[in-house]
Structure 1
């Protein structure tokens, strides 16, 4: 952990979270066929990002001096893989649907961060993907791209 990097990253993410919350107010508050508006999800994500970044900035003041002296090498390969997966996830979300896209993104992320334990990664990815979809679409009456039409499940 690099205290300076973590502190600046926390401040940048705090600003990004605040921007998400402010800009979500410009999105219409109601959507056709949905009891919750399209502005709720970005607002909640911005709030979550802001709270987590505040925790990160607070945590940088508690780092010990000994940890600062160690030199860490940055893992650009893992960062690149996860960044590419996130960009592809956002690009293909409409075509492959939320459930499949989220499942694949989580699997790539889990396996990039820690090789092995494939069954645990499969289980967590599947439960999270289907769980969030069910919660948002069926419980909250929201709308997400479900499954691609070529699968014939919609």
Structure 2
């Protein structure tokens, strides 16, 4: 048996693994019930089984249909986005949502080779205002908006 598409095969393994783990862990700790009288674990079980079935279908397809190989993993964007999210989490309480969101967008923008400061500043301003409107004003989350010195 030869794998024609490594990318599809690994995606299928990922789907099947998550689906199986979800069905085994999340669904079994709650009562299942029946389709007529569903328990709390019925929907997670069905969702996990369906995800595992999709994974098996993608794995089977990878054995038949020729596909691309795995793309080269670029670590700089991956690590800079991870660092931007960690920095946002650290800065949120002391510096507030506005400043933290601006720093998040600017630090995340540095991961792109097409970085332009003006566009990143405009995006940061728009997203930080949008985040405050959504999370603080509309949803009423108790997040600090500005730095508290």
| Larger gyration radius, structure 1 or structure 2 | 2
1 CA distance for matches of 2:95 and 2:121? Answer: 18
Displacement of 1:7: 4.5
* TM-score, scaled relative to structure 1: 0.53
Displacement of 1:105: 0.9
Displacement of 1:148: 0.8
2 CA distance for matches of 1:143 and 1:79? Answer: 30
Identify unmatched segments of 5+ residues in structure 2: 1-5, 27-50
2 CA distance for matches of 1:103 and 1:9? Answer: 34
Q: Aligned-residue CA RMSD in angstroms? A: 3.5
2 CA distance for matches of 1:102 and 1:123? Answer: 12
Distance change >3 Å, CA 132–CA 72, structure 1 → 2: same
2 CA distance for matches of 1:9 and 1:105? Answer: 29
Identify which of 4, 8, 13 aligns with 1:3. 8
Q: How does 1:1-154 map to 2 (within 5 A)?
A: 2-7=7-12, 12=18, 61=58, 65=65, 67-68=67-68, 70-150=69-149
Identify unmatched segments of 5+ residues in structure 1: 20-53
